[in-house]
Amino acid sequence: MPVTRLADTGVADDVVAQACAGDESAREAIYAALAPATLTLIRRMVGQRPLCEDIFQDTMMALYERLPQFRREAPLGAWLRQIAINRCLAYLRSPWQRARMCLEAPGLSVAPDAQLVTPAFRSDAIDVERALATLTPTARAVVWMYEVEGYSHEEIAREFGRSVSFSKSQLARAHARMRAWLDPQENRPSCTMI
Amino acid sequence: MHDDLEQRRTLAQLLRGLPQETAPPYGFREFQRRARRRAAGVRGVSVGQLLAASVLVALGIVAVSLRLAGPREHPLPVVSQSATADAPARAAATAPDTGSDALERLLASLPREPAVARVGERAAVIGLEDRIAQVDDLLSAARSSHAQPARVQKLQEERTRLVGALLQVRYAETLADASR
C-alpha cells in the first residue's frame, strides 16, 4: 500500500464531535483512521522504532487533549500532521540528538539504519527506503516534508527556524546522495580511451 | 538540467510510493493504558519536584543560619599583641571551618549515589567535587606557606559555599531517585 498522506486523511465531523464529548468508540475510530499514517510519518522522520512509538504516543495524546480546539478548517489529519511534525522536529532539535548527530559525522555512514527499512514487497521500494536511511535525520526530515508531505521551502525553513537556503541545500544534497545510492553507476569515474 | 529535474521527479514518485504502516504500533486500549501511565508519571514527577524544591529552600535556610550562627558559636582564637608575626596566619589556618564541617556531616548522612544517575546531575556533582578538591589544595598550600589569614579565611568560605551547593545537588538527586 503506497504512502497515504496524513494531511489528506479526514474523519467525519460527527465522529469528531462525539469524540470531543468523550465518546470512547468515536475516539477509537479516530485512532484507527489516523494512527497508521501518523506512525508512518514519524518513522520516516525519526527512524528508530522505540523512539517513534514514544513520539507517536505523545502526538496522539496531544490530539485528544486539543481536539476541542479543532476548528474543522482542514482535514483532521492535516491538523494532526502539524502536531506530529512539531514533535519530531522538537526531538531532532534536542541537545541529546544534536550531540548524537555530531558524533555520527554525516557522509561517513554508508550502511543504512536497518530499523528505518519497512519490510516491503517490491525491491525498488527497499532500495528507496535504504537510500532514505543513509541520510542524516535532518536531511531525511526535509526530503520527506518537501517530497511527500508537500511543504514548501519557506514552510520547512519556518518549521526548522532556519533560512530558505538551508532547506534548499539540504534537499539538493539529499537528492544527490540518494541518487548515488540508487544508481552507483552514475558516480563511477568514466574511462577515456587515449 | 532536464535530466536532473526528471530524476528528482522520479525520486519523489518513488518516495510517495513507499509502503505505509498498515496498523498502529499498538491498539487503542494499549494507547489508553500508556496515556494513563504517562499522566500518572507526570503527576508523580511534579509532586517529587515540589518536594525537592521545598527541601532545597529548607536547606538554604539551614545553610544561611549556620553561616550566621557559626562565628558566634565558634569565635576565632584571640591573638595577643605579643604573639609572633606569623601567629595570626597559623591561628586562621588551624581554626575549624565549622560551616563546612556541618555541611559535610549532612552530606555524609545522605544515601549513597544512585546506580543510575542523570547526566546533568552527575556532571554537576563531579564539577563541584573537582572544585572542592582544588580549593582543598589551595588551602593546604596556603596553610603550609603561612599565607595571609584573610586569604585562608576566603578559601574556607569558598569551600563552605561549594560543599553547601554539593549538598543541595546530592539531596535533590536523592529525592528524585526516591520518587522514580
Evaluate whether residue A126 is within a structural domain.
yes
Evaluate whether residue B115 is within a structural domain.
yes
What pLDDT does A98 receive? Answer: 64
Look at chain B and report how many structural domains it folds into: 1
Q: What is the mean pLDDT of residues A102-122?
A: 47
Evaluate whether residue A76 is within a structural domain.
yes
What pLDDT does B54 receive? Answer: 76
Evaluate whether residue A191 is within a structural domain.
no
What pLDDT does A110 receive? Answer: 44
Evaluate whether residue A13 is within a structural domain.
yes
Nearest to A94 by CA among A32, A154, A40, A51: A51
Do A119 and A179 reside in the same domain of the chain?
Answer: yes
Do A42 and A125 reside in the same domain of the chain?
Answer: no
Evaluate whether residue A172 is within a structural domain.
yes
| Least Cα separation, residue B55 to chain A (angstroms) | 29
CATH number, position A173: 1.10.10.10
Do A57 and A9 reside in the same domain of the chain?
Answer: yes
Contact B11 A179 (CB under 8 A): yes
More confident residue, A119 or A147: A147
Evaluate whether residue B162 is within a structural domain.
yes
Do A10 and A79 reside in the same domain of the chain?
Answer: yes
Q: Which residue carries 522522520 as its cell?
A: A45
What confidence category does residue A186 fall into, taking pLDDT thresholds of 50, 70 and 90?
Answer: low
Per-position pLDDT tens, chain B of length 180: 567 777 778 888 888 888 877 788 899 999 999 999 888 876 666 666 777 777 777 777 777 776 666 544 444 444 444 444 444 444 444 454 666 777 777 777 777 666 666 667 777 788 888 888 888 888 888 888 788 888 888 888 888 888 888 888 887 777 776 665
pLDDT at A73 over 90: no
Evaluate whether residue A124 is within a structural domain.
yes
Evaluate whether residue B112 is within a structural domain.
yes
What pLDDT does A124 receive? Answer: 63
Do A10 and A54 reside in the same domain of the chain?
Answer: yes
CB atoms within 10 A of CB B142: 21
Instruction: Give a three-class secondary structure readout of chain B.
Output: CHHHHHHHHHHHHHHHCCECCCCCCCCHHHHHHHHHHHHHHHHHHHHHHHHHHHHHHHHHHHHHHHHHHHHHHCCCCCCCCCCCCCHHHHHHHHCCCHHHHHHHHHHHHCCCCCCCCCHHHHHHHHHHHHHHHHHHHHHHHHHHCCCCHHHHHHHHHHHHHHHHHHHHHHHHHHHHHHHC
pLDDT at A72 over 80: yes
Evaluate whether residue B1 is within a structural domain.
no
Do A8 and A72 reside in the same domain of the chain?
Answer: yes
Q: What CA–CA distance (Å, rounded) separates A112 from B55?
A: 49
Contact A39 B25 (CB under 8 A): yes
Q: Which residues of A touch B (CB under 8 A)?
A: 1-4, 27-28, 31-32, 35-37, 39-40, 43-44, 52-53, 56-57, 60-61, 64, 118, 120-121, 124-125, 128-129, 132, 143-144, 147-148, 175, 178-179, 182
Do A117 and A89 reside in the same domain of the chain?
Answer: no
| DSSP per-residue codes, A92-129 | HHSHHHHHHHHHS-TTT--S--GGGPPP-SSHHHHHHH
Do A87 and A127 reside in the same domain of the chain?
Answer: no
What pLDDT does B97 receive? Answer: 61
Which domain covers residue B129, as residue numbers?
Answer: 27-75+85-179
A–B interface: beta-carbon pairs under 8 A = 88
Nine-digit cell string for A61: 495524546
What pLDDT does B147 receive? Answer: 80
Contact A124 B14 (CB under 8 A): yes
What pLDDT does B101 receive? Answer: 75
Q: What is the mean pLDDT of residues A28-39?
A: 93
pLDDT at A77 over 80: yes
More confident residue, A40 or B90: A40
- pLDDT tens per residue across span A124-137: 667 788 888 888 88
More confident residue, A38 or B169: A38
Evaluate whether residue B96 is within a structural domain.
yes
Do A76 and A25 reside in the same domain of the chain?
Answer: yes
Evaluate whether residue A98 is within a structural domain.
no
Contact B16 A35 (CB under 8 A): no
Look at chain A and report how many structural domains it folds into: 2
CB atoms within 10 A of CB B104: 18
**CB < 8 Å to A132, chain B:** 15
Do A57 and A23 reside in the same domain of the chain?
Answer: yes
Best to test chain B binding among A31, A123, A135 (most B CBs inside 10 Å): A31
CATH number, position A71: 1.10.1740.10
More confident residue, B31 or A102: B31
- Complex ipTM over 0.85: no
Evaluate whether residue B132 is within a structural domain.
yes
Q: What is the mean pLDDT of residues A36-64?
A: 90
What pLDDT does B154 receive? Answer: 86
Do A13 and A76 reside in the same domain of the chain?
Answer: yes
What pLDDT does B88 receive? Answer: 46
What pLDDT does B171 receive? Answer: 79
More confident residue, B59 or A105: B59
pLDDT at A50 over 60: yes
- pLDDT tens per residue across span A141-173: 999 999 988 899 999 999 998 999 999 999 999
Evaluate whether residue B2 is within a structural domain.
no
Evaluate whether residue B34 is within a structural domain.
yes
Do A23 and A72 reside in the same domain of the chain?
Answer: yes
Which domain covers residue A130, as residue numbers?
Answer: 107-184
